[in-house]
Amino acid sequence: MKKVIAMIIASAMTISLVACGGSSAPASTNDAAETENVEDEAAPAQDEAAPAEDAQADAEAPAEEAAPAGPVANNEKPVIWFNRQPSNSTTGELDMDALTFNDKTYYVGFDAKQGAELQGQMIADYLTSHGAELDRNGDGIIGYVLCIGDIGHNDSIARTRGARKALGTAVPDAAQGKTEIATIDDVDPSPVGTNTDGSSDKVQDGSITIDGKDFVVRELASQEMKNNAGATWDAPTAGNTIGTWSASFGDQIDVVVSNNDGMGMAVFNAWSKEQGVPTFGYDANSDAVAAIEDGYCGTITQNADVQAYLTLRTLRNALDGVDIMTGIATPDAAGNTLNDDLYYYDEATRCFYALNGAVTADNYQNFLDATAPNPLFNNQLSEDDAPVKRVWLDIFNSTDNFLNATYLPQLENYDKILNLDVEYIKGDGQTEANITDRLANPDEYEGFAINMVKTDNAASYTSKLQ
């Protein structure tokens, strides 16, 4: 019975469809034309209705969530080398494997050659403007001693060369095949040990005319200031060394030249301040700048504020995947930017360099606080635009005067405004392992800023990220 009822219902539906024109049977030409016209007229309404239906369907369908990004491999995370440029400590050749470790790798330092030449010229200008009073024992020789920071460090090498070239005591670097001096790169930077008789083949006697009188300029002694544990740029060693030098030929020392202020101030406090001997350093550390009032003769600012900002700014930009010059050459959303006279960028080597300036009795009051942030680039970034990122950063030597007294406070100024959660690691200044052993879990960090003990040892760090 149910089957019969179903068949009756089906037949009734078929008759209804035929009456409504739903049959596929052929029609007359006029009927066909009318049908096409009707369908053509009805089509737009159907087409117009389709988007609404699609929109409704889209609204009702659950939204698809974007697939979360997978973890970034450690060897793809940003790496910023700073202060100690990856390079061959003998030849100075840049380590391009380290500088191009990945497409988010950069170096931040300062223009070592420009700064070295500036220091040398500052010393030479002082000699010519202060007359024969500099010749303390009246022997016709302006004798100087030189505190060398690290014989394998490009910055130290440049400063030694810059001083010698400006004072006329430089000789060509025969070990590098140089036969004449065109630039400071051609100067032999080797320590002479003791050279009171002027016989060393690492330097020559220079000459200078002061108040119409000719004087010989002689490098009496120079050595790398390395302590017994192997740490270089060592201030206590410099303080002890001036004691040895002054005991042997103190009346011949008319000027002290130092590769940095840490060693320069150690000599100044131990001996030259009391003796009234002009002392020159490098870095414009706050204590050295303040000491200019007490007789410290001059220093060079390498603009630690610019370097610290660039170190963290390049890291921030690389983390965010934005143009590397954001907040540097072009203002960021907060208005941070650097003036062109503060830095330059060498795209070929991926290196940023801060420029240097002389600090003397004429302008030292402008540099008394070396840890103050620069208002040009001290504006807080929004966490909406720049969410907080976790970063690992090391200082190669916990006792290095410049890095700890000047550079680190500047880093701490800028990590906050750039929304970087930085873990600061301090090394012993002797071995890379003392630092790299504390990079056991690089997965915990989103970027790295690296300050090596030795410039040759970049692979000690990059191997941790492979």
Assign residue 424 the CATH number of its domain: 3.40.50
Whether residue 124 sits in one domain with residue 104: no
Whether residue 378 sits in one domain with residue 284: no
All residues at 6 or more sequence positions from 455 whose CB lies less than 8 Å from its CB, including other chains: 84, 85, 86, 87, 88, 89, 95, 152, 153, 154
Predicted pLDDT at 410: 98
Predicted pLDDT at 252: 98
- Give a yes or no: residue 458 inside a domain: yes
Of 86, 119, 117, nearest to 101 by C-alpha is 86
Distances from the Cα of 233 to the Cα of 109, 222, 396, 400, angstroms: 17, 13, 12, 7
How far is the C-alpha of 381 from the C-alpha of 462, rounded, in Å? 30
Q: Dihedral through CA 397, CA 398, CA 400, CA 406, nearest 10?
A: 120
Instruction: Please give the average per-residue pLDDT across 388-399, as a whole number.
Output: 97
Q: Which two tokens stand for residue 435?
A: 């630092």
Identity of the amino acid at 216 = V
Whether residue 270 sits in one domain with residue 213: yes
Predicted pLDDT at 343: 98
Number of domains within the chain: 2
Give the single-character DSSP code of 403.
I
How far is the C-alpha of 325 from the C-alpha of 412, rounded, in Å? 21
How far is the C-alpha of 2 from the C-alpha of 395, rounded, in Å? 91
How far is the C-alpha of 105 from the C-alpha of 101, rounded, in Å? 6
**Element at 165 (helix H, strand E):** helix 154-167
Whether residue 181 sits in one domain with residue 122: yes
Whether residue 449 sits in one domain with residue 310: yes
- Give a yes or no: residue 251 inside a domain: yes
Q: Which two tokens stand for residue 297?
A: 């003769």
How far is the C-alpha of 191 from the C-alpha of 415, rounded, in Å? 39
Predicted pLDDT at 372: 95
Q: Which residue has the higher pLDDT, 22 or 419?
A: 419
Return the exposure string of 269-278: e unless at least 16 CB atoms fall within 10 Å of the residue's CB, then b.
bbbbbebebb
Instruction: Please give the average per-residue pLDDT across 442-461, as a whole number.
Output: 97
Predicted pLDDT at 60: 45
The pairs formed by 129-134 with CB atoms below 8 angstroms and a separation of 24 or more are 130/210, 130/278, 131/210, 131/211, 132/210, 132/211, 132/213, 132/215, 134/210, 134/254, 134/255, 134/278
Give the single-character DSSP code of 287.
H
- Give a yes or no: residue 439 inside a domain: yes
Residue 7 has pLDDT above 50, yes or no: no
User: What counts of helices (H) and strands (E) characterise the chain?
Assistant: 14, 15
Whether residue 229 sits in one domain with residue 135: yes
* DSSP per-residue letters across 40-92: HHHHHHHHHHHHHHHHHHHHHSPPPPPPPPPPPPGGGS-EEEESS--B-TTT-
- Give a yes or no: residue 159 inside a domain: yes
Instruction: Please give the average per-residue pLDDT across 15-33, as a whole number.
Output: 35
Instruction: Please give the average per-residue pLDDT across 177-199, as a whole number.
Output: 97
Domain region containing 400: 78-109+305-336+370-465
Whether residue 297 sits in one domain with residue 428: no
Predicted pLDDT at 211: 85
Residue 48 has pLDDT above 50, yes or no: no
Q: What's 181's domain CATH number?
A: 3.40.50.2300
In sequence order, what are the beta bridge partners of 82? 108
pLDDT digits 0-9 by tens, 138-147: 999 999 999 9
Whether residue 430 sits in one domain with residue 384: yes
Whether residue 209 sits in one domain with residue 288: yes
pLDDT digits 0-9 by tens, 155-185: 999 999 999 999 999 999 999 999 999 999 9
Of 10, 37, 35, nearest to 25 by C-alpha is 35
| Cβ proximity of 242 and 223 under 8 Å | no
pLDDT digits 0-9 by tens, 53-108: 444 444 444 444 555 567 899 999 999 999 999 999 888 899 999 999 999 999 99
- Give a yes or no: residue 215 inside a domain: yes
- Give a yes or no: residue 356 inside a domain: no
How far is the C-alpha of 24 from the C-alpha of 20, rounded, in Å? 11
All residues at 6 or more sequence positions from 308 whose CB lies less than 8 Å from its CB, including other chains: 407, 410, 411, 413, 414
Predicted pLDDT at 207: 96
Whether residue 261 sits in one domain with residue 145: yes
Predicted pLDDT at 413: 98
Instruction: Please give the average per-residue pLDDT across 369-394, as a whole number.
Output: 97
**Would you tell me how many other CB atoms lie within 10 Å of the CB of residue 154?**
20
pLDDT digits 0-9 by tens, 287-337: 999 999 999 999 999 999 999 999 999 999 999 999 999 999 999 999 999
pLDDT digits 0-9 by tens, 221-235: 999 999 999 999 999
Give the single-character DSSP code of 232.
S
**Would you tell me how many other CB atoms lie within 10 Å of the CB of residue 330?**
11
The pairs formed by 93-99 with CB atoms below 8 angstroms and a separation of 24 or more are 94/349, 95/455, 95/456, 95/458, 96/349, 97/458, 97/459, 98/458, 98/459, 98/462, 99/349, 99/350, 99/351
Predicted pLDDT at 69: 61
Predicted pLDDT at 91: 84
- Give a yes or no: residue 258 inside a domain: yes
Whether residue 170 sits in one domain with residue 103: no
- Give a yes or no: residue 69 inside a domain: no
Predicted pLDDT at 30: 35
How far is the C-alpha of 140 from the C-alpha of 131, rounded, in Å? 12
pLDDT band at 374, cuts 50/70/90?
Answer: very high
**Element at 221 (helix H, strand E):** strand 213-224
Question: Residue 183: what are its φ and ψ, rounded to 5°?
Answer: -135, 175
Whether residue 395 sits in one domain with residue 272: no
Q: Which two tokens stand for residue 35?
A: 């049908």
How far is the C-alpha of 353 from the C-alpha of 459, rounded, in Å? 23
Of 365, 353, 356, nearest to 122 by C-alpha is 356
Of 395, 388, 390, 381, nearest to 447 by C-alpha is 390
Instruction: Please give the average per-residue pLDDT across 41-57, as a whole number.
Output: 42
